[in-house]
Amino acid sequence: MKVKGDFSKQYSLLGDYVLELQRTNEDTTMKIDLERDYNLRLKDLLGLDGYFMKGQYPGQLLLAVAIDVNHGIYHGSYAIVEPENTSSWSWFLTCLGDDLDLNPMSNFTFISNRQKGILSAIAQVFPKAEHRFCVRHIYENFKAQWKGNQFTKLVWKCAAATNVPYFDKQMGKLKNLDKDAYEYLQKIPSQHWLKSHFSGRAHCDVLLNNLCEVFNRQLVDGRDVPIITCLEFIREYLVKIIVNVKNVISKSPSPLTPATTKLFEAIKYKPTFYTVLWNGGTKYQASGPYED
């Protein structure tokens, strides 16, 4: 028997095959049920942000950007809407949920700059989601009142602390330095900006919402043109990025991605500096030289 075509390649063409059958035979019903492949390998975190359109007509470009398994920025979803508000963000998040198969009770994680409408929109569409606040934006507001290197170091040490005792120690130092500054940060719910208080749902310790900002810098020239030209500008840029990401990952000499391999090489000797104490049950205490 002569095989006509390549087995693997034809599976990749099934989507186009179904679309063509449906186009030429309107009464045909065909369905493909796929396992989520690349999406599953994205970390369960999305950065959200909105940017002004610069053309003749007002509007906002809403972005949702992820981190791929090679620790790179993977550009997810985008939409052009009316002025940024709860309604536009709710619509965008609902579309995003449909695209990623996220139900309203999904334990997903978002990070944002707390821009207008997004807090209430996430609470409405994904009430169980974790919502991180960009630490850089928190710090920018903080330093308007408390300037100086001491304040800067303590804010970032608090945010980046990997455990509660170390966080408490840094907050204690801030309280001794300036009680008002301490109370200002205490008012921000800890689960939204402190690494030591994150739920751990997303296997990602991102504290900054620079995902969207990197994406936006590439789209500046596309935000001051007519809408279809803008959408084509974004689409063509995304095609190039997606191809580049896949090419980089496919060239990895190991089962791990290049970035992950490099990370393991950098940290594989660090455990030798720790001592481990067993509690006799199912837990262990690890003590090391980094105050952790």
Q: What is the pLDDT of residues 4-15, one digit of tens each?
A: 667 667 877 888
Residue (of 206, 35, 198) closest to 129 by Cα position: 198
Q: What are phi and psi of 129, to 5 degrees?
A: -75, 150
Q: Which ranges of 101-145 would DSSP assign to H, the alpha helix?
A: 118-125, 135-142
Phi, psi for residue 164 in degrees, rounded to 5: -65, -45
- Asked if 288 contacts 273 with a C-beta cutoff of 8 angstroms, the reply is yes
Query: CA nearest 158: which of 142, 145, 144?
Result: 142
Which residue is listed with tokens 């060239």?
251
Considering the entire predicted model, what is its pTM? 0.77
Identify which has the larger pLDDT, 3 or 120.
120
The residues facing 93 across adjacent strands are none
pLDDT tens column, 94-145: 999 988 888 888 888 999 998 879 999 999 999 999 999 999 999 999 999 9
Give the C-alpha separation, 210 to 255, whole Å: 28
User: Are the C-beta atoms of residues 197 and 207 closer than 8 Å to each other?
Assistant: no
Copy the structure tokens of residue 11.
Answer: 């599976």
pLDDT value for 1: 41
pLDDT digits (tens, 9 = 90+) for 169-220: 999 999 999 999 999 999 999 999 999 999 888 878 899 998 888 888 888 8
CA distances from 269 to 40, 52, 265 (A): 30, 47, 8
Cβ-based neighbours of 286, under 8 Å, separated by 6 or more? 274, 275, 276, 277
Residue 32 has pLDDT above 80, yes or no: no
Please count the other Cβ atoms lying within 10 Å of the Cβ belonging to residue 252.
14
Domains in the chain, please, with CATH? 12-25+32-133+209-246 (3.30.420.10), 135-207 (no CATH)
Mean pLDDT, all residues of the chain:
86
